[in-house]
Structure 1
């Protein structure tokens, strides 16, 4: 039996792409033929995928489609007459993008509206959280199972003796997209207050801010806020390697996020894996992901 996965892009470090790789590994280890088809891929992952343009040459028995919004695959995929399973990774509400980029806001709004159509053509759906399951129910999906994002934590066990900072500062860490829904401005103001009382503290913000228009504009506004309010000891890393990410987790004393919308939030699990205390808003899927921890 051949079970193939489809997603628009496999980007290095992205949670959805990482899960697709884990699922393929599990399928192959259990005797299934399985490949991943994409439109876009990071250079260092080219050998892990096939391009969607080749998909029609393949005889799939089942398709697993990772959906987090409309993409270049969407219109072609809905026409394929093969049994389909949708994995829903959530869609950021469009209201968070209106201020920064209207085309992105419009596309995001359409992405959510498309769920109602997808409910009619997919045989089964997987939600990575109960929060996401409720969104699928509201969109008309019937057959839904909740399966949290699969993470291969073995790869996190990287021996590394490199010490990033040799001091006694308290290191607060945020990991995630630099996106308006993450409310990083709230995080900055919270740190400003904390740093006033503890000068030996730093805030490290790990995440890509150069890929999308909203992220670039949002990052510019965050830097302006830092300058205008004279916040010290804040460091934006930009996009980093997986090895560097592990170093930051090992360095951190506290993981903190003020995000206003999460369908799962993988960095919460990563932080707990490294034994880092977590501070987060009690909203959306965050309490479910933490499972009473934090």
Structure 2
């Protein structure tokens, strides 16, 4: 453990019942005079303040004890020292409204006493029974049960060790998926590997470690792969770690201008991210997710680090390797059968619900299309990154557009199979994003034989390579709707798009089968 850190010892989840207390051990390393310790209890199903917040307990700690026992009994918490001496909280807050919960989320937090700033935190899911635990973990188990190619043809030392590091590792996120896929294939080939993140999906807490557990691996056989896409306050520490080799995988930073209106804090982080690129000089190799991303990185470094020859050398020799390890199995023959039919036109969008993705433009296009075919439906799959942006979309739907509420399905937290089924059942995939480095959903749509309708930006152009349908203007969605409507009325035109994308899919899959990435990190 590092200085000023907190850890729940020995467990990554718990199972409680209402008849006896659940006990766990917490270890804290800090200067106790300057910090307070907080235990927060939420409903795991809805871990938000205030509707899912059961209560919190604040403790003043002394240097006499660094390990504590936490007793959880029917939504109430007790803290004792290692010697079983009860420690009373200096303040508490208990929700006056009864919070219904099936399972619990316990958060242990170390805060600065004066500023209340969070120094470290550690979360733990606690389940009512084993069945609930298995249900919670099952999507991750399914994910890791995917079949990957073996590494028999790759020459490497069995003594090699790999550290996969990213500020965020989340389930079904493009950066997170790449980290998880890489971890899975190395584990299945009996290669020593561990993952570290500042923030990660709680369902992954049995495979992802917190940053403060990442220590210098002063070994000649250790390789660190750092996936960078947004500001990371710990980048200086990560770039200074002494290992045999450090690889910087650059996913592209979202243009801060697209975040300014609805996500001010994220916009500031995106802007500050550019200043962190000087840390590249402390890495041995750079990989980017597309040719376009490499060009952006090179232009930025040329402009701001003109005199730094080391950065220029590393960036100019960067490898371009798509952020995909294991492609989904597409069955094109199933996909194009019985399509298109006028009563089953289905548009699909998968991705974050945030301003940079321009979901409002998807709604505006769809608003024009249903004037031509009222039976068309739209499915939007993704987590809501910003409630203000979702409120804006709701305002458009209520006051500016004329889309019946039953025509749009808003979905999230789907299983991998459910997402595959949506690709297979849809008629068109829509992307209105104006800022991408690669775009995994478009990649998947191409490989599932699903025609792509996308705003023409460099990363999309690179992926589609003159296949799909692209457009350069968003001023006339009525004309775009007519264009798509015409294609759907002429089955041969639709199938021509499918066939052209299928040819591109074979090229993409060859580039993106993961072997190039594995080969690069095993060198």
What's the TM-score, normalizing by structure 1?
0.87
2:212 to 53, 65, 70: 53
1:90 to 237, 242, 252: 252
Output aligned runs, 1:15-30, within 5 Å. Answer: 15-28=174-187
Structure 1 SS opposite 2:262: coil
Q: Is the 8 A contact 1:69 1:91 kept in 2?
A: yes
Tell me how far apart the structure 2 counterparts of residues 154 and 182 of structure 1 sit (CA, whole Å): 23
Deviations 1:82-121 (A, max 9, x none): 3311111111111111111322211110012221x12321
1:219 equivalenced with 2:390 (yes/no):
yes
1:258 equivalenced with 2:258 (yes/no):
no
1:100 equivalenced with 2:271 (yes/no):
no
Q: Is the 8 A contact 1:23 1:150 kept in 2?
A: no
Tell me how far apart the structure 2 counterparts of residues 154 and 178 of structure 1 sit (CA, whole Å): 23
Equivalenced residue count is 280
> How far off is 1:57 after superposition?
6.4
Tell me how far apart the structure 2 counterparts of residues 39 and 260 of structure 1 sit (CA, whole Å): 28
Tell me how far apart the structure 1 counterparts of residues 454 and 212 of structure 2 sit (CA, whole Å): 41
Deviations 1:232-278 (A, max 9, x none): 21222134332322222122111011111110000012112221111
What's the TM-score, normalizing by structure 2?
0.50
Q: Is the 8 A contact 1:2 1:59 kept in 2?
A: no
Long gaps (5+) in structure 1: 158-166
Q: Is the 8 A contact 2:216 2:241 kept in 1?
A: no
Output aligned runs, 1:235-246, within 5 Å. Answer: 235-246=409-420
Q: Which residue of 1 aligns with 2:452?
A: 278
Tell me how far apart the structure 1 counterparts of residues 453 and 263 of structure 2 sit (CA, whole Å): 29
Structure 2 SS opposite 1:260: coil
Tell me how far apart the structure 2 counterparts of residues 106 and 24 of structure 1 sit (CA, whole Å): 31
Structure 1 SS opposite 2:379: strand
> How far off is 1:188 after superposition?
0.9
Deviations 1:201-228 (A, max 9, x none): 111111110xx4xx22111101110111
Point out which structure has higher relative CO (alpha carbons under 8 A, 6+ apart).
1
Q: Which residue of 1 aligns with 2:164?
A: 5
1:128 to 280, 285, 289: 289
Q: Is the 8 A contact 1:170 1:202 kept in 2?
A: yes
Does the C-alpha gap of structure 1 residues 99 and 53 become closer, same or farther in structure 2, counting only changes over 3 Å? same
Structure 2 SS opposite 1:177: coil
> How far off is 1:38 after superposition?
1.7
Does the C-alpha gap of structure 1 residues 276 and 29 become closer, same or farther in structure 2, counting only changes over 3 Å? same
Q: Which residue of 2 aligns with 1:269?
A: 443
Q: Is the 8 A contact 1:39 1:72 kept in 2?
A: no
Structure 1 SS opposite 2:343: coil
1:204 to 358, 376, 379: 379
Structure 2 SS opposite 1:35: strand
Tell me how far apart the structure 1 counterparts of residues 427 and 240 of structure 2 sit (CA, whole Å): 49
Q: Which residue of 1 aligns with 2:369?
A: 194
Tell me how far apart the structure 2 counterparts of residues 150 and 111 of structure 1 sit (CA, whole Å): 23
Deviations 1:26-52 (A, max 9, x none): 445666422211223223322322332
1:172 to 344, 347, 351: 347
Q: Which residue of 2 aligns with 1:118?
A: 279
Tell me how far apart the structure 1 counterparts of residues 293 and 231 of structure 2 sit (CA, whole Å): 16
Tell me how far apart the structure 1 counterparts of residues 181 and 377 of structure 2 sit (CA, whole Å): 34
Q: Is the 8 A contact 2:240 2:282 kept in 1?
A: no
Compare 269-278 and 34-43 and name the one that shifted more: 34-43
Structure 1 SS opposite 2:286: strand
2:271 to 109, 114, 128: 109
Long gaps (5+) in structure 2: 1-159, 302-311, 332-341, 469-523
Tell me how far apart the structure 2 counterparts of residues 8 and 113 of structure 1 sit (CA, whole Å): 16
Output aligned runs, 1:52-71, within 5 Å. Answer: 52-56=211-215, 58-59=217-218, 61-71=222-232
Q: Which residue of 2 aligns with 1:247?
A: 421
Tell me how far apart the structure 1 counterparts of residues 462 and 453 of structure 2 sit (CA, whole Å): 14
Higher strand share: 2
RMSD across aligned positions (CA): 2.2
